[in-house]
Amino acid sequence: MPKISLHSILQAANRETARLLHGRIYWFCILIAPVITWIFFLSMMCQGLPTDLPVALVDLDNSSVSRELARQLDAFEGTQIVAHYGDFGEARKEMQEGKVYGIFFIPRHFSADATAGKQTVLSFYTNNSYLIAGSLLFKDMKTTATLASGYVLLKTGLAHGQTEAQIRAKIQPVVIDSNPIGNPWLNYSVYLNNLILPGILALLVMCVTVYSIGIEIKEKTVKEWLAAGRFSITGSILGKLIPQTIFFFLVGLLLFVVLYLGMQFPVNGSLMRMAAALFCLIIASQALGVFMIGCFPTLRLGLSFACIWGMLSFSIAGFSFPVNAMYPPVQALSNLFPLRHYFLLYVDQALNGRDLFYSWTHYIALLGFLLLPLLVLRHLKWSLLHVPYQP
């Protein structure tokens, strides 16, 4: 086995840097594609929370009370009444066509019944096929309905000589002072882009790793590459990957500049620790990439494997759907995805600013991915030298 030396690594790294700078596909995957995704996701969610979600109003009461209710609902930033209907069926059709995400229904004789003390029911419908829109509207419509009940009590109660405070206490004895930790604005952009954007970068890291090794087989340049690394497979791989690490890390840091300095996303912990997490994410993804092409030493299969793994990681990392809600075997599997550990590091170190004590295991876990290539290095070298390109 040829010895690995600093010189061999440097030589392979030089060769790789030139290849990266001259390959259009590398420019695309390392710089252009990430920047496209930043522009897309950050401009898409620039409002933070969707505002003015369209709602249909069915007001069969048509009294001053019901109009006041409608005004209050419309006044919420998140809600906008876009249409009035005299009949529930029409409103439902609008909802089915996706033109409104919710319906607020005020029954006939609502205000007359309520002030007379007769039971009456307000109904509101949210279209939960659009889960985010549905949940946001639910909140606004529920508050309006609660207010309505208060409004009526207030009118009747005042007539009986009770004070406003007393009545309020009857309607809602316990008031909740809600404090979302770390993201008090409930900003979706903060919530999602802190993970989607590094996640896409990690996906591209994995693809580029696999591609840059596999393409040597396809272009029949394996010998040249290994010669640059003095036929040490470790040296050749390190030399190939270190320039990519540097480029990707620089792009990742640029992302941090955009997110944390430009967009002022909150960092309640330390940026240094987040940068360390990002670096670990990148090298863990590279290691996983080497492992994939090592297991499937054909460019196409290795790449497919990387794509499939990388896409799944967005779901299994648990930032939109929590991992504790998944089946136990899936929970265990989630540990095999670097993005899962990066997510937990983000939660600890940026969102909550926790002590390192709570997070070090995830740094170790990411570094643990570096052991994977060791399992396949020999096999990889053998296949590099002996297995021809299979289209």
Q: Which residues inside 193-222 make contact with other proteins, applying CB under 8 A? A: 196, 200, 203-204, 207-208, 211, 214-215, 218
Q: Which is nearer to other proteins, 36 or 375 (CB)?
A: 36
Task: State which H helix or E strand residue 103 sits in.
Answer: strand 102-106
Q: Which is nearer to other proteins, 19 or 93 (CB)?
A: 93
Pair 61, 111: CB distance under 8 Å: yes
Those residues whose C-beta lies under 8 Å from the C-beta of residue 325, and which sit 6 or more positions away, are: none
The 295-314 site mask, x for binding other proteins (CB under 8 A), equals: ----xxx-xx--xx-xxx-x
Using the rule CB under 8 A, which residue among 121, 261, 356, 364 binds other proteins? 121
The structure tokens 């979600």 sit at: 53
- To the nearest whole angstrom, how small is the minimum distance from the Cβ of residue 37 to other proteins? 6
Using the rule CB under 8 A, which residue among 222, 233, 280, 347 binds other proteins? 347
**Looking only at residues 227 through 266 of this chain, which bind other proteins when binding is defined by CB under 8 A?**
none
Q: Which is nearer to other proteins, 10 or 60 (CB)?
A: 60
**DSSP assignment letter at 390:** -
**Looking only at residues 134 through 173 of this chain, which bind other proteins when binding is defined by CB under 8 A?**
134-135, 138, 141-142, 145-146, 148-150, 152-153, 165-166, 168-173
354 contacts other proteins (rule: CB under 8 A): yes
- To the nearest whole angstrom, how small is the minimum distance from the Cβ of residue 5 to other proteins? 32
- To the nearest whole angstrom, how small is the minimum distance from the Cβ of residue 9 to other proteins? 26
Using the rule CB under 8 A, which residue among 1, 6, 46, 159 binds other proteins? 46
40 contacts other proteins (rule: CB under 8 A): yes
12 contacts other proteins (rule: CB under 8 A): no
Q: Which is nearer to other proteins, 4 or 136 (CB)?
A: 136
- To the nearest whole angstrom, how small is the minimum distance from the Cβ of residue 161 to other proteins? 14
Pair 303, 387: CB distance under 8 Å: no
**Looking only at residues 315 through 344 of this chain, which bind other proteins when binding is defined by CB under 8 A?**
315-316, 318-322, 324-327, 330
- How far from chain centre, in Å, is Cα 91? 33
188 contacts other proteins (rule: CB under 8 A): yes
Those residues whose C-beta lies under 8 Å from the C-beta of residue 136, and which sit 6 or more positions away, are: 49, 50, 53, 78
In the beta sheet, which residues pair with residue 85? 58
Pair 55, 100: CB distance under 8 Å: yes
**Looking only at residues 97 through 116 of this chain, which bind other proteins when binding is defined by CB under 8 A?**
97-98, 101, 113-114
Q: What's the start-to-end Cα distance of the chain, in Å? A: 30
Nearest of 321, 293, 323 to residue 307 by alpha carbon? 293
Q: What does the block give as tokens for 167? A: 């009545």
130 contacts other proteins (rule: CB under 8 A): yes
State the number of binding residues for other proteins (CB under 8 A).
117
- How far from chain centre, in Å, is Cα 240? 30
Angle between helices 271-295 and 360-368 (to 10 degrees): 30
Please state the length of the chain.
391
Three-class DSSP category at 106: strand
